[in-house]
Amino acid sequence: MVKMQISKSSLFTLIVLSGFLFSSYQLKAQVKFGPTPTKEQLAWHDKEFYLFMHFGPNTFTDLEWGHGSENPNVFNPTALDCDQWVRTAKAAGAKGIIITAKHHDGFCLWPSKFSKHTVRESSWLNGKGDVLKMLSEACKKGGIEMGVYISPWDKNHPLYGTPAYNDVYINTMKELLTHYGKFFELWWDGANGEGPNGKKQQYDFTKFKDSALAYQPQLVIFSDIGPHIRWVGNERGIINATNWNLLDTVGFKRGEGAPPNDTLNMGNFNGKHWIGAEADVSIRKGWFYHPEEDSTVKSGAKLFDLYLQSVGHGGNMLLNVPPNRKGLIDSLDVAALMSFKKIRDEAFKTNLFKNAVIQKTKTGLFISLPKPTTINTIQLQELIEFGQRVIAFELKAGNSRKELKTIFTGSTIGHKRITQFSTQTVQYIALNILESKAAPLLKAPSGYLIQN
């Protein structure tokens, strides 16, 4: 029987392989199973939570999808402060900001040479403004990463709906990807409607992808079918409790030709590609700021619940926090974010397994606590760099080694699985792997008592 005491300094370096504890040196000899994430995808998984920021003419017109014919002068934030965005994001524990550099209306938040519908044409800062420059400088100064959303749909551009527009789109991506530093994520919306000529565009996403990665090879790209990150089939911020980081993409397209929403939500059991799940949700009712929606700001408790159903189900949480008409994150949103951060910090402050003893069993792990302990949450993690393996597991607990009751049954684990169950006071906990594609490879579990 293998036993190891978990100390504070070694807690997150312990490795479990099929119930045995291994050193990092021994781990190098392990074999990958099935599709595995790239180093860039691994870094993306570890970000877990970051902000989306919808900002543009819609902020000032009370629209969600602009018409593309708006006067550029409607865009006029009176006190734009990207440093405030970054300070708020960092204080909330977010690891990055993704900005809507161009939404469906075609308005560019930077002075693009390939459009006549940009900040350059607005009276804001006498046409000399550049939101992308301001945000990239603020992110660099504040030590936070940046990503960009650039809609392929463009309701304003006269070439939209013609083959020439694909080159226009690539050129606008090139401007973003070569002038504002490195981005951690490129976000593609699947919407595809009519342009000013009444035609829809035939997007050349293969060429888009190859071009973007030529400019910034480290990018991870989001869309319905990746290639690196997938949409979860809803905009409620919820990922299914069964979540495979695997997806089949042959025969599917972005937008209307995407896989069914339940497939996007759960992934494919035997998917051919590693494409992790990102759950997008807005802190407000809409995606752009509208004053009449101030009463819809989600509470810190609600955001924490969504965190448990996204990050806690092995994916990432992309929380939209739209700047207001001043160009600031509204005080109501700031308050909700700070509450969310406080709840998260309190929930995971004390790891109840810090002084536990872990033993190997035939089916998994046996955790012995020094004394009966009140607990209602256990966090599990697979070493996904070697593939996602666990199909089903159970947790049993009690105060006698021989008399344990089932307190939780689950399916996948993946990058992180936060299991919650009715509050128990127990001394012994068994993690049984009921079914696995290959020998389970897990990080050391941790336990918590989260106050509801």
What would the pLDDT profile of 348-396 be if each residue is shown by its tens digit? Answer: 999 999 999 998 888 899 999 999 999 999 999 999 999 999 999 999 9
80, 168 in Cβ contact below 8 A?
A: no
- The CATH number for 3-30+350-448, chosen from 3.10.450.50, 2.60.120.10, 2.60.120.260, 2.60.40.10, is 2.60.120.260
Q: Tell me which residue of 150, 59, 140 sits closest to 98, measured CA to CA.
A: 150
- Residue 18 confidence (pLDDT) above 90: no
Domain with CATH 3.20.20.80 in the chain: 39-347
Report the chain's mean pLDDT, rounded to a whole number. 93
Q: Tell me which residue of 203, 258, 196, 191 sits closest to 225, measured CA to CA.
A: 258
User: How confident is the model at residue 26, as a pLDDT?
Assistant: 53
Cα–Cα distance for residue pair 316/336, rounded to 1 Å? 19
**Tokens 């128990």 identify what position?**
424
- Structural Rg of the chain based on CA atoms: 23
Domain with CATH 2.60.120.260 in the chain: 3-30+350-448
E runs forming strands in 353-389: 357-360, 364-380
Cα–Cα distance for residue pair 212/221, rounded to 1 Å? 9
Cα–Cα distance for residue pair 45/415, rounded to 1 Å? 7
For 160-268, where are the alpha helices, taking DSSP H only?
164-179, 205-215, 261-266
Token pair for 225: 């079918």
Region 7-18: mean pLDDT is 37
DSSP-assigned beta bridge partners for residue 352:
none
Instruction: Give residue 12's pLDDT band: very low, low, confident or very high (50, 70, 90).
Output: very low
Q: Tell me which residue of 258, 233, 238 sits closest to 248, measured CA to CA.
A: 258
**Tokens 């900001």 identify what position?**
97
Assign a CATH topology to domain 39-347. Answer: TIM Barrel (3.20.20)
Cα–Cα distance for residue pair 262/230, rounded to 1 Å? 12
